[in-house]
Chains A and B, each alone.
Chain A
Amino acid sequence: MISKKTLVSLGAGAFIALTFVIYSIHQRNEGNQAVSRVTASTNTPSTTPQVHDAAQAPAANASQAGSASSTATLKDGSYTGKSYDAFYGYIQVKATVSGGKLTDVQFLDYPQDRDNSIRINQVAMPLLKQQAIQAQSAQVDGVSGATDTSQAFVQSLSDALAQARA
């Protein structure tokens, strides 16, 4: 027996999952494009199994919101999530709910270049080798990469949506 509450939680999970998936797609495929805003046009809670998996952790974390919820929809308005540490900076999002649907997610803060107007000492730009990046298939023991920001994104968005359900 699926209670209304569970449905609400699932719906909320779907919001987060959907936006997270859109965010991931941007992150993966459009790293060279401006991604300061992610717009979700639908809240249809028809989650695929993978989407639901992606929502498990944040949905569970946001359980305080789920249990406090007595309405079936999100309240219209803008909700600012807490700022979460992505280690080289913070991720903070503002979620906009309109007509009971999550319609917009704005990044208020994300790791980025700091003020470039700060003086850099008089370093002459040396002539350095450039090459197009290319996938390498060699076996490796480990991989170096920038710390994932996605965890912080999910936390901040969960937090914003918890407020929308409050």
Chain B
Amino acid sequence: MIKQNRIIMGMPITLMVPDSHGSHTAMAEVFEFFRRVDQTYSPFIETSHVSKINRQELVEDDYSNELREILDLAEQAKRDTDGYFDVWHDSVFDPSGIVKGWAIDRAAEIMRQYTNDFYVEAGGDIQVSGANDQQQPWRIGVRNPFNRDENIAVVSLDNHAIATSGTAIRGQHIYDPVTSRPLTDIVSLSVIAPNIIDADRMATAAFAMGERGIAFIENLPGYEAYMVDAGRRATLTSGWERFQLQPA
């Protein structure tokens, strides 16, 4: 297996291909692409499109085709998630949530020009294609949100994507006044979809919905999800186990 890592856009980017055929060129091209995405869309880089939009220095007429494409994706995500996915927060434009999925998707397109078998990951969100070096579907762990050294599920994916939304730092919990136990709080939510843009935006939106998020995914054809709550319980959509490897 050929595997390369870089830290770009403040997150680890990992690329894998089962054999070396053309892989170094492909990987170099993908890393270069991620660097350009960072320069163009980071809210922390003064000269980025995003910073210019927030300073009202870049008006709609001057948007690039690529920026329009990202904005269209963001607009669609907002419609599909009942407003849960929004690149505008308190009148600040921050498309990070959609750019990540979009960038992984474009990176996968670059890889596809060289090989059918690849793994592209940015900050825990993954698009795979074809097979791994054992000529098997890619085996992807779902990280335990309570212990980052452990996986709590392993799924087998080919030509699918998985994205996980969650955070270890939570707000104040709400306690049930009768039992004094914390009410359900969602710690992480992983979504499998055919492509990373969909997996990513739906994981973000469903996570923001709290415990109703899993029902939202259950009702979306073609999507499966695995939700972990503060009580260390997992809730699975009805088709999740088709992807899951049974515990050994």
Which residues of A come within 8 Å of B, CB atoms? 26-29, 31-36, 84-89, 91, 107, 110-114, 116, 118-121, 123-126, 128-149, 151-152
Contact = CB atoms under 8 A, between A and B. Distances in A.
A114 B238 CA distance: 26
Given A32-B146, A32-B182, A133-B234, A149 B171 contact: no
Contacts of A121: 82
B40 interface: no
B107 to A, nearest CB: 14
Contacts of B144: 133, 135
Given A123-B216, A139-B139, A85 B43 contact: yes
Contact of B44 (A36, A85, A88, A135): A85
Contacts of A86: 167
A145 B212 contact: no
B142 A145 contact: yes
A155 to B, nearest CB: 9
Given A141-B119, A147-B124, A134 B82 contact: no
A151 B169 contact: no
B210 A32 contact: no
A148 B140 contact: no
A112 B169 CA distance: 8
A111 B169 CA distance: 8
Interface string B198-210: 0000001001111
A139 B133 CA distance: 13
Interface residues of B, number: 81
Contacts, number: 215
Contact of A133 (B43, B218, B233): B233
B139 A141 contact: yes
A120 B212 contact: yes
Given A118-B83, A133-B144, A138-B154, A113 B236 contact: no
26 contacts: A27-B168, A28-B168, A31-B146, A31-B170, A32-B173, A34-B171, A35-B170, A84-B44, A87-B123, A113-B209, A128-B215, A128-B235, A130-B233, A133-B144, A133-B152, A134-B247, A135-B144, A136-B151, A140-B139, A142-B140, A143-B141, A144-B125, A144-B142, A146-B124, A146-B164, A147-B11
Contact of B143 (A34, A36, A118, A145): A145
Contact of B145 (A34, A125, A146): A146
B187 interface: yes
Contact of B147 (A28, A89, A138): A28
A148 B11 contact: yes
